[in-house]
């Protein structure tokens, strides 16, 4: 997924970027010390995707400072996760933000044209899982992936999931988001021929222990090809799915 470094090198080869311009991009200081944060300027060159700002726990001024530093150093689009509605309103005074109140994700700039090898499916057990699912979906879209949402297809009504068998079988990556007992990932894993990323959510009654029950179920999944991220970690799932969906592109 290291598209930025590849773009620079291919640009030199094709004559779109001069050697001096490429050297400047590679020589730029890898981070900038703001005192309260060290924005990673070389993240895109090193990993293929730019730094993302985790909004929870930061002041609006800190978020603005980090974002403006990244923008001033050439980052075209900024993704901010876990940003409250109140913080988004204040940050948007200084930054041109698009904000999604369901996922609590904000971003600057436009979504890129999808350039992955296929579709990412994001499926949820229920409507209560939407905040985590949308965090995964928007993250994947932000990183250049085409996403199809299949929501409220939990195992308590299995026919709802089976109605999307064609989508499941044609996906390049599937993100299964579920709380309660977390059975959705295992069922999808038994139907799909692609990697499945299981995301346990903190949705459920008392014995779900804030998502621990779903987490343990997904970790013990009997279907092959299923990996599990942490509770409510939609961002991690969306990012990982995007990396998988770009593997062939970068070979």
Return the CATH number of the domain spanning residue range 119-244.
3.40.50.1970
Tell how strand 119-124 and strand 173-178 pair up: parallel
Q: How much is the pTM?
A: 0.85
User: Ramachandran region of residue 111, left (φ > 0), alpha (ψ -120 to 50) or beta?
Assistant: beta
143, two tokens: 């990183």
117, two tokens: 């090898």
Residues of the chain with pLDDT under 70: 1-8, 22-29, 31-33, 42, 45, 248-251
Q: 175-193: per-residue pLDDT in tens?
A: 999 999 989 999 999 999 9
Question: Where exactly are the structural domains of the chain?
Answer: 3-108, 119-244
The DSSP element (H or E) to which 131 belongs, if any, is helix 130-142
Please, which residues bridge with residue 100 across strands?
A: 105
Angle at 176 between CA 201 and CA 171, to 5 degrees: 160
Please, which residues bridge with residue 80 across strands?
A: 53, 106
Residue partners of 167: CB distance under 8 A and separation at least 6 = 119, 121, 148, 150
So what's the pLDDT on residue 72?
Answer: 84
Cβ distance 32 to 18 under 8 Å?
no
Q: What single DSSP character describes residue 233?
A: -
Backbone angles phi, psi at 135, to 5 degrees: -60, -45
So what's the pLDDT on residue 4?
Answer: 61
151, two tokens: 């929501």
């Amino acid at each position: 997924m290291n598209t930025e470094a590849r773009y620079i090198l291919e640009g030199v080869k094709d004559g779109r970027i001069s050697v001096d311009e490429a050297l400047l991009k590679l020589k730029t200081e890898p981070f900038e010390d703001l005192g309260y944060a060290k924005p990673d300027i070389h993240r895109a060159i090193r990993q293929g995707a730019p730094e993302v700002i985790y909004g929870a726990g930061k002041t609006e001024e800190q978020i603005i400072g980090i974002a403006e530093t990244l923008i001033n150093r050439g980052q075209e689009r900024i993704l901010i996760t876990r940003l409250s509605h109140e913080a988004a309103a204040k940050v948007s005074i200084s930054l041109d933000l698009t904000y999604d109140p369901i996922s609590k994700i904000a971003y600057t700039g436009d979504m890129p044209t999808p350039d992955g090898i296929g579709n990412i499916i994001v499926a949820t057990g229920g409507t209560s899982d939407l905040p985590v699912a949308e965090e995964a979906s928007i993250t994947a879209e932000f990183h250049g992936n085409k996403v199809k949402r299949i929501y409220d297809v939990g195992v308590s009504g299995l026919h709802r999931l089976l109605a999307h068998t064609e989508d499941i079988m044609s996906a390049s990556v599937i993100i299964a988001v579920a709380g309660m007992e977390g059975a959705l990932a295992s069922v999808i894993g038994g139907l799909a021929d692609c990697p499945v990323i299981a995301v346990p959510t903190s949705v459920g009654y008392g014995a779900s222990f804030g998502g621990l029950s779903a987490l343990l179920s997904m970790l013990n999944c009997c279907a092959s090809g299923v990996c599990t991220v942490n509770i409510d970690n939609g961002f991690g799932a969306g990012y990982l799915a995007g990396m998988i969906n770009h593997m062939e592109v970068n070979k």
